[in-house]
Amino acid sequence: MKYFRKTSSGDNKCVAMALSAHHLLTVCLTIVLLAFAPSLTAHPLRATTADMATYRRLSEKSTAMLMMKAGKFLHSPNGQDSALLYYTIVANRYNDDGIGDAERRECITAMNNVGYLYYAFYNDYDKAYTTLRQALQLAAKSGDKYYEAMINLNMANIKSVFLDVQGDQPQLAWATLQLYRKA
C-alpha cells in the first residue's frame, strides 16, 4: 500500500518507503515467531529427576515442619512457588482414615492456602476455586467452623473479582454476598 502526501510545492512525495519498511519488519517478526511457536509449546514444563527427588525428600518430612516452612515462604518475597510446593505436599496427605484430627486440620489449612496462592499470586481463579471447594467440603465434613469461615471468605473474594470484572450480574452479586455472610 502506498501513501502520498502533498509537499509545499504541491508535489506528491511517496512515504511508502517508510511504511513498507515497517510493514516488512512486522511480517519478518511474525514469521520468526510462527517458526518458533511450535517449539515453545511442544514441550510443556516437566518435572526433572532432581525435582522429583526434592519432592520425595520433602514428602518424608513431618506435616508440622512443612507447614512452618510454607508459612515462612508465603511471607517472604518471591517465596510463593516454594510455599505452594510445601502446602501441596501437606494437602495431598489428606485421607479419611489414616490421619488424626490435628493433621486433618493441617491438610485443610494447606488446601485453603493453596487456593489462596492460586488466587492471590498466580491469578488462576479456576484452580483456586476448585481447591477451595474441596477444602470447604473437607472442613464441613470434619465440622470445623473456623476453616469453613476462612474458606468461604476466600471463595467470596474470588467471586468478588469476577463481579468487579463482569459488572452488573445480580446472581453473581447475590452468591458473593451469601459467601461473605457465611464467612
Could you state, in order of their start, the residue ranges of all structural domains in the chain?
4-41, 49-182
Contact yes or no for 169/175 (Cβ under 8 A): no
Please give the CATH topology (third level) of the domain spanning 49-182.
1.25.40
Residue 6 has pLDDT above 80, yes or no: no
Report pLDDT digits (tens) over 62-117. 999 999 999 999 989 999 999 999 999 999 988 766 778 888 899 999 999 999 99
pLDDT in tens, 120-179: 999 998 999 999 999 999 999 888 899 999 999 999 998 888 888 877 788 888 888 898
Judge contact between 3 and 16, C-beta under 8 A: yes
CB 139, CB 168: distance < 8 Å: no
Residue from 102, 117, 95, 89 nearest 147 by CA: 102
Q: Which three cell numbers stand for residue 180?
A: 461473605
